[in-house]
Amino acid sequence: MSKTVPMILASLVGFLMIIAYFSPPLLPWRQIAEDWYTIVAAIAMVYGGVNLCIHHLKRISDREAGWGFSAVTLGAFGVTVVAGLLKLGVAPESAKQLGHAWSGQFQQEGGVLWWTFQYLLSPIVSTMFALLAFYVASAAFRAFRAKNVDAVLLLLTALIVLVGQTKDREITSLFLPNVTEQGVPSFPIADLTEFIRKTFVTAGQRAIMIGIALGVVATSLRILLGFDRSYLGGDE
């Protein structure tokens, strides 16, 4: 019973959202459902924040391995929440708001939250992706070994795309019997790279997106019909 009622509610709201998309008279009900979704999402975020604090405080209290990272996580979480809620460093956007506390956008340029994102989070993310480049290069080296025809085609395509990303079109030119306006026979690899991206890459991306869409539809139907109850914490 504890899982049956949430399952019924999820199914009813899900079908309501789908039918309301094609039935304009049901749009007010869809708006009510979206408002309730916003309320539930806000409650879930608060619950998630409390759960995060309890989890990391327990790790710090028990001195588990890596508890120092938990302390850094809690400190960063606290600073972000306080800076965002109190709008530290945010100035009023107009003269009418001078007498109102906490006026202005919390993401306003110059505020503490903006400064934290601009000068702490962004460099950390850039550093992480810069480190990932070495792992990508190592994986590419292992994957691009020309052991068969497929590997050779993959290697040649990758080389063309990598070389075609350079800005100097004179360097990225593969000399072929094609004459340019200056009378120099050349065929820019940059153009070939663009052709590969627009033709083969686009076709592959569309196939992947179609597969993802079919998977989303199948999973959604399983949830709406009650066959998949994993979101309730397990099967009955």
Q: Are 193 and 201 in contact (CB under 8 A)?
A: no
Looking at residue 96, its pLDDT comes to 57
Proportion of the chain above pLDDT 70, given as a percent: 80
Looking at residue 36, its pLDDT comes to 92
- Rounded distance between C-alpha atoms, residue 79 and residue 6, angstroms: 35
Separation of CA 177 from chain center: 45
Proportion of the chain above pLDDT 90, given as a percent: 27
Mean pLDDT estimate for the chain: 81
Q: Which residues contact 161 (CB under 8 A, 6 or more apart)?
A: 193, 196, 197
State pTM to two decimals: 0.60
What per-residue string of b and e applies to 49-64 under the rule 16 or more CB within 10 Å gives b?
Answer: eeeebeebeebeeeee
Looking at residue 31, its pLDDT comes to 92
Diameter of the chain measured on Cα atoms:
81
Q: Which residues contact 102 (CB under 8 A, 6 or more apart)?
A: 86, 87, 90
Amino acid at 184: V
More confident residue, 14 or 103: 14
Lowest mean pLDDT among 100-109, 126-135, 144-153, 220-229: 100-109
